[in-house]
Amino acid sequence: MTQNTVHAYAAPSPKAPLERTTIVRRELGEHDILIDIKFAGICHSDIHTVRGEWGEGGHFPLVPGHEIAGVVAEVGPGVTRHRPGDRVGVGCFVDSCRACENCRAGLQQYCTGELGSVGTYGAIGRDGQVTQGGYATRLVVDENYALRIPEGIALDAAAPLLCAGITVYSPLVHWQAGPGKKVAVVGLGGLGHMAVKIAHAMGAEVTVLSQSLRKKDDGLKLGADHYRATSDPATFEELAGTFDLILNTVSADLDLNAYFGLLRTDGTFVQLGAPEHPLSVAPFSLITQRKAFAGSMIGGIPETQEMLDFCAGHGIAAEIELIEAERINEAYERVLASDVRYRFVIDAATI
């Protein structure tokens, strides 16, 4: 093996099980850092991508993983933001054009430049090569796209914050969740459990809307004030016109119009999960009370750092199940069966 060859787990083709392999990382550039990956979270997006559920094609073999926590091993000669030994994280993108209005505003996830926001895996970087993700032992990334992980958060529990954490933090901040606001979280999974923790820490009144009451005790322990089953028609009758903000964290096909009925005047329903099929909206379910149906995607570099610092300051981290790499395919099946509380994290030492 060459110095740049690292062990990884990759999907050789769409829908194929992941298998152990090696990949080659690029040479360390002027502003690059080399990260020894310690932990990598498993996101539902990884499963959607490697199974071709967001469109056929793509770049295979593919190493997924965009919830990455590790330690800086080496830095390029021009690096000023990080030093060897620093605890760092990498999230859903590893580059952007850096010049468009959104990039200049710190909204790199919404880059409108020619390069666009370059995904951590399955995208084409500025070097023309396909990006490969965090189910690996090492990663080379530009220093500007790595985050500082505060000492107050364990690295394994920090990894999911780089996607699940920022995905819910960003809309909670944007739609001003806080004291006096009633926030509902649809689904208590990888995203949902982080939404409950963060919204509670922001001072909002939090309600979990889950298909059943199976996880009610967990939801209340995580910080929810209320927990209601969406399989019970009384939930939609009794909570009509209640919420200022609803975060939909699930990727299932929902009756959106029923959920819009839970919003108060000027309330907002934010779609975070990305279902395989289009969803149907009846315009009058929004028009009559000036309700909004919005979307949100992760966060930029400044906001992601803000989220990590917020979580460290409030003692927030993901609830995880640490697994060895050989159990990745089993973990995928368990994610699909909602059999994880609440995020699988791969111990990269086992890769």
Is residue 14 located within the same domain as residue 150?
yes
Is residue 10 located within the same domain as residue 140?
yes
Which tens digit of pLDDT belongs to each residue from 327-345?
Answer: 999 999 999 998 999 999 9
Is residue 133 located within the same domain as residue 278?
no
Is residue 100 located within the same domain as residue 241?
no
pTM for this entry: 0.96
3-class DSSP state of 226: strand
Is residue 139 located within the same domain as residue 173?
no
pLDDT of residue 12: 95
Which tens digit of pLDDT belongs to each residue from 98-109?
Answer: 999 999 999 999
DSSP 8-class letter at 241: T
Residue that is last in its domain, among 295, 313, 332: 295
pLDDT of residue 297: 95
pLDDT of residue 63: 98
Q: How far is CA 84 from CA 229, 275, 317, in A?
A: 48, 40, 24
Is residue 67 located within the same domain as residue 147?
yes
Residue type, 100: C
**Residue for token pair 């099929």:** 277
Backbone angles phi, psi at 155, to 5 degrees: -60, -40
pLDDT of residue 252: 82
Among positive and negative, which fits the CA dihedral 99, 102, 108, 114?
negative
Which tens digit of pLDDT belongs to each residue from 3-47?
Answer: 799 999 999 999 899 999 999 999 999 999 999 999 999 999 999
Which tens digit of pLDDT belongs to each residue from 236-281?
Answer: 999 999 999 999 999 888 999 999 999 999 999 999 988 778 889 9
Cross-strand bridge partners of residue 227: 208
Q: Distance between CA atoms of 177 and 124, rounded to whole angstroms?
A: 36
Mean residue pLDDT of the chain comes to: 96
Q: Read off the pLDDT band of 56 (50, 70, 90).
A: low
For residue 270, give the CATH number of its domain. 3.40.50.720
Is residue 109 located within the same domain as residue 173?
no
Residue of 276, 267, 275 lying closest to 240 (CA atoms): 267
Instruction: Tell me the average pLDDT across 66-89.
Output: 98
Of 55 and 146, the structure prediction assigns the larger pLDDT to 146
Is residue 122 located within the same domain as residue 203?
no
Is the predicted pLDDT of residue 58 greater than 80, yes or no?
no
Is residue 173 located within the same domain as residue 288?
yes
- For the chain, give the percent of residues with pLDDT over 70: 99
How far out from the chain centre does Cα 315 lie?
Answer: 19
Tokens coding 186: 């649809």
Q: Which burial class, exposed, middle or buried, applies to 337 when counting CB atoms under 10 A from its CB (0-12, 13-18, 19+)?
A: exposed
Is the predicted pLDDT of residue 168 greater than 80, yes or no?
yes
Torsion region of 55: left, alpha or beta (phi above 0 gives left; psi -120 to 50 gives alpha): left
Is the predicted pLDDT of residue 87 greater than 90, yes or no?
yes
**Domains in the chain: how many in total?**
2
Q: Are 250 and 186 in contact (CB under 8 A)?
A: yes
Is residue 285 located within the same domain as residue 304?
no
Residue that is last in its domain, among 277, 295, 313: 295
Which tens digit of pLDDT belongs to each residue from 183-227?
Answer: 999 999 999 999 999 999 999 999 999 999 999 999 999 999 999
Structural domain range at position 150 = 5-163+299-350
ω into 342 cis (within 30 of 0):
yes
Is residue 146 located within the same domain as residue 213?
no
Is the predicted pLDDT of residue 164 greater than 60, yes or no?
yes
How far out from the chain centre does Cα 344 lie?
Answer: 13
Residue that is last in its domain, among 263, 278, 295: 295
220 contact partners, CB below 8 Å, separation of at least 6: 227
Instruction: Tell me the average pLDDT across 306-334.
Output: 98
Is residue 228 located within the same domain as residue 330?
no
